Structure 1
Amino acid sequence: MVQQRVGEQLRFGVFLVSGRFPGQDDTAVLRRTVHAAIAAEAAGFDDVWLAEHHFMPYGVCPSAITLAAHVLGRTSRIDVGTAVSVLSTTHPVALAEQWSMLDAISDGRLRLGVGRGGPWQDLEVFGTGLSRYETGFAESLDLLLTAAAGRVSAEGSHFSFREVPLRPTPQRTPRVVVACGGPASSAVRLAAERELPLLLGLHADDFEKAETVAAYGAPAEHVSTVLCQVGDDAREVVRGALPGWLADGLAAHVPVDDRPGPGRDPWEYTEKLCAIHPVGPVSHCVETLRTSLRRTGVSHVIMFVEASGTPEGTMANIARIGAEVLPALREG
């Protein structure tokens, strides 16, 4: 069992998917996300992370870096991260430019979460093709990191161009985390080789996350994603809202070729999430999170807080976590 490293500072954030639950409007969902980010700062969270998806109700934010720019402008203290910017459909040098600009004007509050993405129709629409997804992640990640150091050129399988300077000139090294699917994921090895921490997914329980951290093989400031819903009726709230959203969202994942789409049963997945994450009364959430911190050794946790499916429920959940859960965790 992995033990949390003594003296390591705890960090807690919110993870906002911008999920469109049945019957909702895209614009209202995005406004809910912005209001939730502002509420997270007021509630004492350390950071807020924004998801990115295309062509589906699972998440209606198509550009996490763009939404991050807006949230940075609406906040003053909290860090803002992308979770994730998809390197299979985004030009890594363009992303580095955006990071450098936002890093400069936010005094370093922007974090970059990056990932490979999936084999979805996005690859066809944006013209990057299946090969970028299957073989291009390492090359894209290295270009992003090189560009963020100030100058970049390329002579690879997917990118080839003469050296150019990045403008604005980067003032800092980007704080990058790499999304991974589990201990056997090639992203774990890739991140470890580049000494970049991992972003551990919502689907994994504590034991899988601990195995992934062990596979990484070195101390690092990894980030763990959980679902957190506080309340005596929290499980009923999640069971009432989440399956409908998942059913619509999973069905909207259209593969770029003839491979099958996601096969998860929305109701079974909801039950799994309720079982492995802090969903319940305050005392249960505190103990579940304490146990997760101890088992995984990961001291930075970001919380999916939108499982009620409503703006009011999301704001109330953020407020209760900030007022009742975070203080108990930080006191030890």
Structure 2
Amino acid sequence: MIIGAFLLAPRFPGQTDRAALDRALAAVDAAERVGLDEVWIAEHHFMPYGACPDAATFAALALGRTRRIAVGTAVSVLSTAHPVALAERALLLDNLSGGRFHLGVGRGGPWVDLEVFGTGLDRYEHGFPDALALLLRAMTGPTVDGTARFPFREVPVVPAPATRPHPPVAVAATSAATVELAARHGLPLLLGMHVGDEDKRAMVDHYRASGGPADAEHVSAVLAHVAGSRAEAVAQVMAAAPGWLRDGLAAHTPVDDRPGPARDPHAYAQLLCDLHPVGDFDYCADRIARSAARTGATRVAAMVEATGDPAHTLRTVAALGALRRAVSAPPAASDLGKLA
């Protein structure tokens, strides 16, 4: 099992953007220190749901501060970026980090971002397959030329990939069509924390049925929060997360006249507590292990900022590190007792 942290840098009510980013950066340092395998950085625009508007830039800083851990984007939004520009940044980080950079890409949403960055709704609704194919060609090199949607003359790819045939790429999927697209390219899935194990298993099964490799290492995003007991952990999340979700969901502004997200923040926070490892150490360890077995996704990306409290975040990262060590060499009962 590969265990990592998933960092949104969410701005909770009363916090500054800098506080949210500092908390996420401290979590990167802690993840390296306690032995997690990887960290994943989210990207959002114009909203407090996440204060990081460029996951690759954050990843560059994280890679520069660490020496061992892999750092990925979850995700870099391909609908608002030029595929070749994103490929160049990925190749640069691949070279500078010695192969520790992982690129996660996704379609994003029908938000005002498409208007601001000039890519438009058609790019979101119809352009993702072409953009992904061009991204992969550009990351592979040694040259790349354009398409009908992205017309340009042939150019050399610089720098060449340090990781062959290209740096690792994963695809965020919420629909059957995107699962099939990832399977055609042989790329693993990034599965969101808004769905449970049964839905994730269905997507993994559909991926395999669509010709995707059986040994693909899919990534399952979960919300993780460790406290002294299940009741205490849920109470802490429910006291803080609804305010963040209320402000964050409300800030998703559609690019057209469609309605925005309509989730009830309290109900959504409770759903996340019900679906994911929110509890004491033993409860969380059991939920993570069972979820990996049920879904077939053996890479876990745990969102550790569920309350916005830096101390809570670091405590959960430390517990995940202990769980990661337990996967390789089970710790003594006394060690588990200290972490609970």
TM-score (norm 1): 0.94
Cα RMSD (Å) of the superposition? 1.1
Measured in 1, the distance between the counterparts of 2:278 and 2:187 equals 30
Measured in 2, the distance between the counterparts of 1:252 and 1:30 equals 18
Aligned residues: 319
**Equivalent of 1:34 in 25, 29, 39:** 25
Measured in 2, the distance between the counterparts of 1:83 and 1:73 equals 18
Aligned residue for 2:278?
A: 279
Aligned residue for 1:5?
A: none
Aligned residue for 2:152?
A: 161
| 2:269 corresponds to 1:270 | yes
Q: Secondary structure at the match of 2:190?
A: strand
Q: Using the TM superposition, name which of 10-19 and 184-193 deviates more.
A: 184-193
Q: Secondary structure at the match of 2:75?
A: strand
Q: Using the TM superposition, name which of 72-81 and 210-219 deviates more.
A: 210-219
Aligned residue for 1:221?
A: 217
Measured in 1, the distance between the counterparts of 2:108 and 2:137 equals 21
Structure 1 residues 1-332: aligned runs within 5 Å: 10-150=1-141, 151-156=143-148, 158-172=149-163, 173-181=166-174, 184-217=175-208, 218=212, 219=214, 220-231=216-227, 232=229, 233-323=232-322, 325-331=323-329
Measured in 2, the distance between the counterparts of 1:139 and 1:180 equals 16
Measured in 2, the distance between the counterparts of 1:298 and 1:51 equals 19
Measured in 2, the distance between the counterparts of 1:202 and 1:329 equals 22
Stretches of structure 2 that go unaligned for 5 or more consecutive residues are 331-340
Amino acid at match of 1:110: F
Amino acid at match of 2:326: A
Measured in 2, the distance between the counterparts of 1:205 and 1:89 equals 28
Q: Secondary structure at the match of 1:178?
A: strand
Q: Secondary structure at the match of 2:79?
A: coil
Q: Secondary structure at the match of 1:168?
A: coil
Measured in 1, the distance between the counterparts of 2:159 and 2:288 equals 40
Measured in 2, the distance between the counterparts of 1:263 and 1:186 equals 24
User: Is contact 1:290-1:329 (8 Å) kept?
Assistant: no
Q: Using the TM superposition, name which of 184-193 and 236-245 deviates more.
A: 184-193
Measured in 1, the distance between the counterparts of 2:157 and 2:327 equals 41
User: Is contact 1:286-1:328 (8 Å) kept?
Assistant: no
Q: Secondary structure at the match of 1:55?
A: coil
Aligned residue for 2:333?
A: none
Q: Deviations over 1:210-265 (max 9, x none)?
A: 00000101411111111111111111110011000000000000000000001111
Measured in 2, the distance between the counterparts of 1:130 and 1:69 equals 29
Amino acid at match of 2:146: A
Amino acid at match of 2:90: W
Amino acid at match of 1:34: L
Amino acid at match of 2:290: T
Query: Offset of 1:73 from its aligned partner?
Result: 0.4
User: Is contact 1:226-1:277 (8 Å) kept?
Assistant: yes
Q: Deviations over 1:55-93 (max 9, x none)?
A: 000001000000100010000000000000001000110
Measured in 2, the distance between the counterparts of 1:41 and 1:187 equals 32
Query: Offset of 1:331 from its aligned partner?
Result: 4.5
Measured in 1, the distance between the counterparts of 2:328 and 2:114 equals 43
Q: Deviations over 1:148-176 (max 9, x none)?
A: 111111122x2101011111122221200
